[in-house]
Each structure stands twice: as C-alpha cells, then as structure tokens.
C-alpha cells in the first residue's frame, strides 16, 4: 500500500479594507494607543464592511489558495471551515462556501473550536489526506468577530478583528508535511470566554439584549493563565514527538491573541523572537483566522523555505488548544543516493543523540516555566494592590 504524506500546496488570505486604529477606539471608549499597545501589542485591526460576512471573506482567501495550488474548486474532496461567527447557526457556513465556490463534489463541515478551530481543521485535513481517503482538502479559518463585540467594553473591544485565511492540503508521496500533532480541551474553563445570550441554553429576549448577553464576554486573567501554559505545553509536546528540539524549529507561528502571552511562551520555550511570526499589531486577535493569516504572511515574506520545520499553535474558547509540527516540502527528488552518514549504524547514534537533546530541552522548558510561574505569583498581588491604590486615588480626586 502506498505511503501518503500531507502537503500544503496553496494558501490565501483576506483582510477587510476598513482599518480601526487604537486612536479610533479612544473616541469610543476610555482608552488610548499607549495603554492598548503596552498591554496587548495591538495597534490596529480590520473590521468587516456592512453586509460583509464570514463566508464572503472565506471566498476571497479560498480562491487565492486554489490559484496558488493550481487546482480548481471541482478538484476539492472536502471543505473544512473553522469559525465561531458563521453567517447563520443553520445552515452550516461550510455548505454556503462549498456552493459559492462551485466545489460540486466536495463534502463540507464547519468546526466550532474557538481560536483553535483552524488547528483542528488542519489536523483533520492531514488525516484524510494521509490515509488516502481524499486528495485535496480546503481548510479555512474565518471570523467576523466585530458583530459579537460590545464596543463599550474596553476589555474586549480593543482585542478583536475580522479576517480569513485558507490553505489547500493535498496528498503527496514525498516525505514531509505534518510530523506530529496534539489537540485538546479543558472544558472546565468553558465560561472564561463566552457569548452567553445566543444558543439553545438561553433564548434571546428583550432582557438578554438589554444586558448585552449577545456580546462576547471574557475572563482575561483566566484566559491568560490557560493560554501561557497551553502554548508552552503543546509546543513542547509536538516538538518532542517529532524528535526535535526548539533549535530545530525554523519558525514558530502562534495564535495572535496578545503580545504578553506570546512573549512569555517565547521565554519559556527558549526560542529567539526572530524565529517567531508576529502580526497581531496589524490585525489583532482574529480567532480561527489568526494562524492562517500569520502563515500566509510568513510565506509571502519568504520566511518559510523548503525543508523548514514549522510549529503552529493555538488556544481558544472551550477552553481548547492545538499544535503541530509541519515539515515544509522541498524540491528534492525521492530517489537520492544514500550517503555514508545515512547508513543504519549512523542513524542509531544520531537518533540517540537527538533524544538526549530533546530531553535536555524539555527539562529547560520545565525549569523556565516554574521560575516564571513563581515570579507571577509574587508580582500579581503587587500589581493588583497598585491598581487598587490608583483607583482609590482617582475616586478621591473626583470627589474633591
């Protein structure tokens, strides 16, 4: 039986034309550019135009990916659309996308996994391709989060933006593609990031609308604590299972949620910032579109070359998380001569040495994580105390 591998043959992205800067937000809520940048790293985000929905943006990114891959929509076997903001609760947005693309023979599914949705979709696509079931799978991450945001809530409105990213995952007989993966969920934190007023658990009423329960709510501290741990643990797991260390990763593409989360994960993993793709300053948190947008920009900027090992990681509502290591396909032929260094005895020693390096790196990550956790345990109460003092002083001044 033939051995199949997964290969990303095409990619595409779409960002709405409207740019919402931090200065624009300062005219809407009590905030300013310095405050937002220092806490999130975000300077601007894209907002969908009136009447522009998730499937509209998905179409743009999907067509780019198809053109890049050199195939037509009729060649697709499966469409996976990851989104928490579909055009409708019913029918599935993936079916709308399938119809508008003209992908007549493709199956279609929508994945609701928060910001981790694209990772779930990418891993699913790779499984279908590698087991020989399908030849070409379109994976899209797209969000129109602006419709779910309370623009009077400073804690959330500064974070999110709209956009879409897509890849074509195709069957290949050349080694490469997905090397390892992990998907997970910690459902005990389900209410840390929630849109409480829409769904079968809560009917939409005048009361829920008045309370803005149809808008997104977030427990920032809980999400931050989960995200920093989940990112570090997930990347460590997939890199180790791929038989690598962080030094073998040419580019880390994390979910673009918050610069502080990314910076802490970078320190714990021991990877240089130059090997991390960051574009949240221009797009904000685009949820399921975040990783594919960053991947597309990294490819277009030439930051990914044939043979590179790429680590992708995301976390989101649920609370969900996912990561994988992807070896980017090169142009080498499948029938290369066997070099002396490739003989089995040499392979055995090389594998043992790699295992030793991997073990040492994991121990370093664990040590750095414990140290940073201890530091935060000390600093957080001080920060909370200082914040309380400033608030009381402000109240005192207002009363005078």
SS3 category, 209: helix
SS3 category, 319: coil
Tell me how crowded residue 151 is: count the other CB atoms within 10 A of its CB: 13
Residue 329 among the catalytic residues: no
- Give φ, ψ of 69 to 5 degrees: -75, -15
Q: Which residues contact 41 (CB under 8 A, 6 or more apart)?
A: 258, 259, 260, 262, 278, 280, 281
Q: Which of 45, 6, 320, 13 is nearest to 161 (CA)?
A: 45
Residue 285 among the catalytic residues: yes
User: Active-site residue among 60, 136, 255, 329?
Assistant: 255
- Per DSSP bridges, beta strands 309-316 and 251-254 are parallel
Number of helices (H), then strands (E), belonging to the chain: the values are: 12, 13
- B/e letters for 360-399, b = 16+ CB within 10 Å, e = fewer, are ebbeebeebbeebeeeeeeeeeeeeeeeeeeeeeeeeeee
Q: Which of 127, 188, 183 is nearest to 315 (CA)?
A: 183
Residue 157 among the catalytic residues: no
User: Active-site residue among 22, 60, 157, 285?
Assistant: 285
User: Active-site residue among 22, 115, 258, 296?
Assistant: 115
Which element (helix H / strand E) includes 326?
strand 320-327
Enzyme catalytic residues: 115, 255, 285
């Amino acid at each position: 039986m033939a051995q199949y591998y997964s290969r990303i043959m095409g990619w595409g992205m779409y960002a709405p034309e409207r740019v919402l800067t931090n200065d624009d937000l300062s005219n809407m809520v009590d905030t300013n550019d310095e405050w937002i940048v220092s806490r999130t790293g975000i300077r601007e985000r894209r907002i969908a135009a009136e009447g522009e929905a998730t499937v509209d943006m998905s179409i743009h990114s999907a067509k780019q990916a198809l053109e890049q891959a050199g195939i037509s929509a009729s060649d697709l076997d499966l469409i996976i659309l990851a989104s928490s903001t579909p055009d409708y609760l019913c029918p599935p947005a993936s079916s709308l996308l399938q119809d508008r693309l003209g992908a007549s023979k493709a199956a279609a599914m929508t994945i609701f996994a928060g910001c981790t949705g694209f990772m779930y979709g990418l891993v699913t696509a790779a499984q279908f391709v590698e087991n020989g079931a399908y030849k070409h799978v379109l994976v899209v991450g797209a969000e129109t989060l602006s419709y779910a945001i309370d623009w009077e809530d400073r804690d959330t409105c500064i974070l999110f933006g709209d956009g879409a990213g897509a890849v074509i995952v195709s069957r290949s007989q050349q080694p490469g593609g997905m090397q390892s993966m992990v998907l997970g969920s910690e459902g005990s934190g389900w209410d840390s990031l929630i849109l409480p007023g829409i769904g079968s658990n809560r009917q939409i009423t005048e009361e829920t609308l008045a309370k803005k329960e149809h808008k997104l709510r977030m427990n920032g501290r809980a999400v931050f604590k989960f995200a920093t741990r989940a990112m570090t643990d997930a990347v460590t797991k997939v890199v180790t299972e791929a038989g690598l260390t962080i030094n073998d990763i040419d580019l880390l593409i994390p979910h673009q949620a918050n610069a502080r989360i990314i910076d802490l994960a970078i320190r714990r993993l021991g990877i240089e910032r130059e090997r991390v793709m960051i574009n949240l300053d221009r797009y904000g948190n685009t949820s399921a579109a975040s990783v594919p947008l960053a991947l597309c920009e990294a490819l277009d900027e030439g930051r990914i070359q044939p043979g590179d090992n790429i680590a992708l990681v995301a976390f989101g509502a649920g609370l969900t998380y996912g990561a994988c290591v992807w070896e980017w396909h090169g142009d080498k032929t499948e029938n290369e001569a066997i070099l002396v260094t490739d003989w089995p005895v040499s392979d055995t020693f090389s594998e043992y040495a790699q295992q030793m390096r991997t073990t040492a790196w994991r121990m370093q990550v664990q040590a750095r994580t414990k140290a940073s956790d201890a530091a935060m345990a000390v600093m957080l109460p001080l920060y909370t105390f200082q914040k309380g003092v400033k608030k009381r002083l402000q109240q005192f001044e207002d009363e005078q």
